[in-house]
């Protein structure tokens, strides 16, 4: 068998195959044998009929078709395995096959187009990483005070009121509008005066008493986030269900003890400071890593195959479906209807993000390869077991989950973390 390989743009290759007449004759004979095992011929047991009779019964065209399929499959696999070993080419996805010549007793020819992992001209990532220094992290007193006030609000008491509501009260309302979800009644609760709604909405509620109702109209700003309401006048009907006065606890040593195992307010503040610093460190680290990747990406040459981008778009759609279902209890099709877009529209809008994700993945993979960075089996095993322990039913998890895929996921996560640690150490 003779093969010729031609490189195409976007990390695609085209392989031309020439299967000699003698070799194709063997595939033809194999096809006849395969049919003889399946077809029932009068007077013979399956697989025992003479090949000439089998060929006559099945027909030359059908046998030729099977012979071509066998030749394509076996020849393609053989060449791909060779390329993986000698040229380190990693094939992505299924090939596009075109048979160009075949006949009984003659040479067979076909070609296969397939995407491969792209070649990368990686920039000097060590120099780039060494020049990006993590920023100094400081925790200011106002950060601590804001966190303490948040804790204070979370421990507030709600005391029901019978008189009209004022700014700072906690209110529960039912509202509806002909212009919003076909006048469907909706429920909400919030602190009055904290700009929970569009400007003017809360001002109309001020002074209402529990169980009272009110109708009013508001004109939404021209630059309103939801375009379907921008510049439009919307009619509202609101019922005030309940009003509560918010009673905040006094911030002192006794209150600090109710928050956790703290001896006094100072200890609570020290814990809050430590928590804020950890959070800021993580945020800074993420920004630092993103900057390193971005600069490596800008100075590297990489031609991404469209098939990889499409796979990433599909993954992003699945992520969105999961988030909508778990966080917002919304079905994907309902979301599409709400935003007046199709799935294809969303996929098009994901193009830039998908390209960026794939580039990041390939860069981290290439650095790991060059620096011989691997995820130890025991760490992968530990992370996998940690995930399974958090699953309500481990036996059920083992049935429902693809454990090999889960291990591959943690292998990638751990390897990427080690790559980042290596870059940060520079």
Sign of the CA dihedral 223, 224, 230, 234? Answer: negative
Same domain flag for 172 and 301: no
Q: pLDDT (tens digit, 9 = 90+) per residue, 300-349?
A: 988 888 888 998 999 999 999 999 888 888 889 988 888 889 999 999 99
Same domain flag for 172 and 97: no
Domain presence at residue 136: no
Looking at residue 35, its pLDDT comes to 84
Please give the structure tokens belonging to residue 153: 């609000």
Count: domains in the chain: 3
Same domain flag for 369 and 281: yes
Domain presence at residue 233: yes
Q: In angstroms, rounded to a whole number, what is the distance separating the alpha carbons of residues 162 and 259?
A: 31
Same domain flag for 184 and 293: no
Q: pLDDT (tens digit, 9 = 90+) per residue, 90-115?
A: 888 889 999 999 998 899 999 999 99
Looking at 205-352, which runs of residues are DSSP E strands?
213-219, 233-247, 301-302
Nearest to 12 by CA among 306, 297, 309: 306
CATH code: domain of residue 20: 3.30.70.1050
Domain of residue 194 covers 157-247
> What is the CB neighbour count within 10 angstroms for residue 187?
10
CATH code: domain of residue 416: 1.10.3120
CA angle 243, 249, 250 (to 5 degrees): 140
Same domain flag for 242 and 284: no
Q: pLDDT (tens digit, 9 = 90+) per residue, 28-84?
A: 999 988 888 877 776 666 666 677 777 787 888 999 999 999 999 999 999 999 988
Domain presence at residue 148: no
Residue 72 burial by Cβ neighbours in a 10 Å radius (0-12, 13-18, 19+):
buried
Same domain flag for 408 and 269: yes
Mark residue 397 as left, alpha or beta (left: phi above 0; alpha: psi -120 to 50; beta: remaining). Answer: alpha
Domain presence at residue 299: yes
Same domain flag for 269 and 181: no
Same domain flag for 22 and 53: yes
Q: pLDDT (tens digit, 9 = 90+) per residue, 3-42?
A: 999 988 888 899 999 999 999 999 999 998 888 887 777 6
Q: pLDDT (tens digit, 9 = 90+) per residue, 230-270?
A: 899 999 999 999 999 999 999 999 999 999 889 999 999 99
CATH code: domain of residue 218: 3.10.50.40
Same domain flag for 286 and 321: yes
Same domain flag for 243 and 273: no
Same domain flag for 301 and 359: yes
Q: pLDDT (tens digit, 9 = 90+) per residue, 203-214?
A: 999 999 999 999
Tell me the backbone φ, ψ of residue 91, rounded to 5 degrees. -75, 140
Give the DSSP H/E element, type plus range, for residue 311. helix 306-328
Residue 180 vs residues 70, 202, 228, 229: alpha-carbon distances, Å: 61, 17, 10, 9
């Amino acid at each position: 068998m003779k093969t010729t390989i031609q490189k195409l743009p976007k990390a695609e290759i085209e392989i031309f195959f020439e299967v000699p007449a003698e070799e194709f004759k063997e595939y033809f004979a194999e096809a006849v044998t395969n049919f003889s095992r399946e077809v029932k011929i009068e007077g013979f047991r399956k697989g025992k009929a003479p090949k000439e009779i089998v060929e006559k019964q099945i027909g030359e065209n059908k046998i030729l078709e099977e012979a071509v399929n066998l030749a394509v499959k076996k020849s393609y696999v053989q060449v791909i395995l060779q390329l993986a070993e000698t040229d380190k080419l990693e094939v992505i996805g299924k090939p596009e096959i075109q048979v160009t010549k075949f006949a009984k007793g003659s040479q067979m020819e076909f070609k296969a187009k397939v995407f491969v992992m792209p070649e990368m001209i990686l920039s000097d990532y060590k120099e780039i990483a060494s020049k990006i220094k993590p920023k100094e992290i400081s925790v200011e007193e106002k950060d601590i005070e804001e966190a303490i006030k948040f804790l204070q609000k979370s421990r507030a008491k709600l005391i029901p009121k019978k008189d009209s509501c004022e700014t700072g009260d906690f209110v529960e309302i039912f509202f509806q509008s002909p212009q919003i979800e076909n006048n469907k009644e909706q429920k909400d609760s919030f602190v009055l005066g904290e700009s929970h709604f569009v400007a003017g909405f809360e001002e109309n509620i001020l002074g209402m008493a529990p169980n009272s109702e009110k109708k009013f109209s508001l004109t939404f700003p021209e630059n309103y986030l939801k375009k379907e309401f921008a510049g439009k006048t919307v009619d509202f009907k609101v019922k005030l269900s309940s009003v509560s006065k918010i009673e905040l606890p006094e911030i002192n040593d006794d209150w600090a003890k109710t928050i956790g195992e703290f001896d006094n307010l100072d200890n609570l503040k020290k814990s809050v400071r430590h928590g804020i610093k950890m959070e800021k460190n993580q945020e800074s680290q993420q920004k630092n890593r993103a900057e390193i990747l971005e600069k490596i990406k800008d100075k590297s040459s990489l031609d991404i195959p469209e098939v990889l981008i499409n796979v990433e778009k599909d993954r992003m759609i699945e992520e969105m479906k999961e988030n909508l279902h778990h966080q917002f209890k919304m079905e994907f099709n309902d979301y599409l209807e709400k935003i007046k877009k199709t799935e294809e529209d969303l996929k098009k809008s994901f193009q830039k993000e998908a390209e960026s994700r794939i580039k990041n993945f390939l860069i981290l993979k290439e650095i790991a390869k060059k620096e011989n960075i691997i995820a130890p089996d025991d760490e992968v095993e530990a992370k996998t077991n940690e995930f399974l322990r958090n699953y309500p039913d481990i036996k059920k998890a083992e049935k429902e989950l693809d454990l090999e895929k889960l291990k591959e996921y943690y292998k990638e996560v751990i390897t990427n973390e080690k790559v980042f640690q290596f870059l940060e150490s520079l």
